[in-house]
Each structure stands twice: as C-alpha cells, then as structure tokens.
C-alpha cells in the first residue's frame, strides 16, 4: 500500500506559528529541520492521516485546516500502522520508525469543543516516530511500509 505526503508543517517553538512547506530536510539528529520536536526520541516527526483529521473535525462540527493539529506530515491514501516499531519510507531516502500514538491534548478543545474526544479513537490523533534515515521530502512524495 502506497500513499502520499499531502502536507508538511513545522513550528520552531511551543505554541509558535506554524510554517507550511513544500519540501524539507529530515535528519536522525534533528527530525524535521527547524521543528521544535526534532530532539525527542519517540516523536521527532508527527504524522496524521487526512481522512482521520476530516472525520474528527466533522464529528466536532468544525472546519479546520490539518496543520491546526500541529503535526509535521499529512498523509493521504495511507493507513498509518498502529503500534510501535513499524518503519515507513517517504520518497527515496527517508525512513521513519513509528513509535507512539500521539494523544490529543486539551488544546484541541480550544480549537473546537469535542475535537479532543473525536481524535482519541483508533489513533486519529496521529503517530510519532524517530528518523532512521534522513534526506529531503516534498509534498507529493510516496509513503509506504518499509520491508
């Protein structure tokens, strides 16, 4: 199964502005270049499925852009594996080991009442991972399970 990267975002500081990108460098040392979470072991990079975001915002009765979730990568036509230890390849070079579910925080309810609860089931809040192999990724790149 192959999906695609539909969006890339980063934020340099907690609660800071979100920057949308067409392409970005990703490294094992720093995650998404310029993102505040690059030094975290379990969630250097965060990914969310477009369909999950759409379903959760619809349940909450909100029309919000995906980057309000503060995830780094929006994926389309791809089901993120649940559970740790699965590796995904993005484009030709980047490999990310998915390590954890990203639990939605109270901040989601500040965006839309009920959004936090709508993001809780079935990993809808997204997955966090560690960069195993770095490189440059771009919107439109393929994402697939690494064998």
Q: What pLDDT is stored for residue 82 in this prediction?
A: 87
| Count of other CB atoms within 10 angstroms of residue 11 | 18
- pLDDT (tens digit, 9 = 90+) per residue, 84-113? 889 999 999 999 999 999 999 888 999 999
Domain 2-145 indexed as CATH 1.20.1250.20: no
Task: Write down the pTM of the prediction.
Answer: 0.94
Residue 120 scores a pLDDT above 80: yes
- pLDDT (tens digit, 9 = 90+) per residue, 39-83? 776 789 999 999 999 999 999 999 999 999 999 999 999 999 988
Q: What pLDDT is stored for residue 50 in this prediction?
A: 98
Q: Which residue has the higher pLDDT, 137 or 84?
A: 137
Give the residue extent of every domain in the chain.
Answer: 2-145
- pLDDT (tens digit, 9 = 90+) per residue, 12-44? 988 889 999 999 999 999 999 999 988 776 789
Q: What pLDDT is stored for residue 130 in this prediction?
A: 95
Residue 52 Rama label (left phi>0; alpha psi -120 to 50; beta):
alpha
Q: Which residue has the tokens 């080991």?
A: 97
Q: Which residue has the higher pLDDT, 147 or 90?
A: 90
Backbone Cα Rg of the chain: 14
């Amino acid at each position: 199964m192959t999906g695609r990267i539909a969006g890339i975002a980063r934020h340099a500081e907690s609660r800071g502005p979100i920057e949308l990108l067409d392409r970005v460098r990703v490294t094992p040392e720093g995650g998404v270049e310029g993102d505040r979470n690059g030094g975290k072991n379990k969630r250097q990079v965060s990914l969310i499925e477009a369909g999950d975001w759409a379903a959760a915002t619809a349940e909450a009765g909100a029309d919000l852009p995906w980057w309000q979730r503060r995830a780094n990568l929006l994926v389309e036509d791809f089901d993120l594996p649940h559970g740790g230890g699965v590796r995904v390849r993005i484009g030709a070079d980047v490999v990310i080991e998915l390590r954890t579910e990203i639990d939605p925080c109270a901040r989601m309810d500040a965006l839309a009442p009920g959004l936090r609860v709508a993001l809780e089931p079935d990993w809808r809040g997204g997955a966090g991972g560690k960069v195993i192999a770095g490189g440059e990724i771009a919107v439109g790149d393929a994402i697939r399970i690494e064998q």
